[in-house]
Amino acid sequence: MSAQVEEIRLNLGHIELAAHLFGPADGIPVIALHGWLDNANSFARLAPRLKGLRIVALDLAGHGYSEHRPAGASYALADYAHDVVRVAQQLGWERFGLLGHSLGAIISVQLAGALPDRVSHLLMIDGVIAPTGVEQDAAERLGMALQAQLRLDGKRKSVYANLEEGVEARMKGMVAVSREAAELLAQRGLMPVPGGYSWRSDSRLTLPSPVRLSETQAMAFVKRVKCNACLVVAADGMLARHTALLEQLPFEQVSLPGGHHLHLNDEHGATLVADCINRFFGFP
């Protein structure tokens, strides 16, 4: 396939999202969803290596060049799933594949379980279900979330004197990435502000979730997935230590060397993940 990428914008009525478009027009339709606080450039190394796919790599709401949700709104997983269905509707895709990393993988599983007849393929990179909670903690969790929302009103985003400082901050983030990965994410993530640069992402993305599914509820989405599904587990990533969860999953699993962003951190990792995805879609 061509390595060329096209920048597009999708007006969904309730929000406008930015995206990268890869691959031949007659390829298998796939919507790619990045991880938390990342953007469409999460797939900049991976997508050009994939064969026979028409990939729309979104900037999720509140990330990259996409719009933020309106005042008073939040970033619930169900709202992301709604955005994806609207994107498919606008593109005229009745059935489509999902390629998700981390948060994007979680959204993909929920959507594939909620609307199993709409999703043709499910490919997950080091993510599968959101952190779960227990029923007796529900009130405490909501209280914590409400307090965090109120505190956010008085906070200001970090401002970096130059682009290099912003890149270094991303390298040392909650999930560390390579310099090359941070530079790619910064292309869509950093914006000029008075005094330097700041990340475009909506500050509300850092708020704790007011509600968590129980493990039974989370696994209900997994069990309703009908399509072929494959989970790439990064050997040094976030899922590898959750062996009890991995043993419950009905999906094909492939373990690959690398960290949580193995598809983005370097060329070798991108090639390994691409080879896995190409085999999964039947393009050796």
Q: Please identify every residue annotated as catalytic.
A: 102
Token pair listed for 237: 């990533």
Q: Is 246 exposed, middle or buried (0-12, 13-18, 19+ CB in 10 A)?
A: middle
Side chain identity at 86, as an amino acid letter?
A: R
d(CA 37, CA 98) in angstroms, rounded, equals: 19
Number of helices (H) and strands (E), helices first, in the chain?
9, 10
* Nearest CA among 130, 109, 113 for reference residue 230: 109
Q: Are 108 and 33 in contact (CB under 8 A)?
A: yes
Contacts of 140 (CB under 8 A, 6+ apart): none
Residues in the chain, total: 284
d(CA 179, CA 185) in angstroms, rounded, equals: 10
d(CA 112, CA 129) in angstroms, rounded, equals: 12
**Exposure string (b/e) for 12-27, b if CB count within 10 Å is 16 or more?**
beebebbbbbbbeeeb
Side chain identity at 58, as an amino acid letter?
A: L
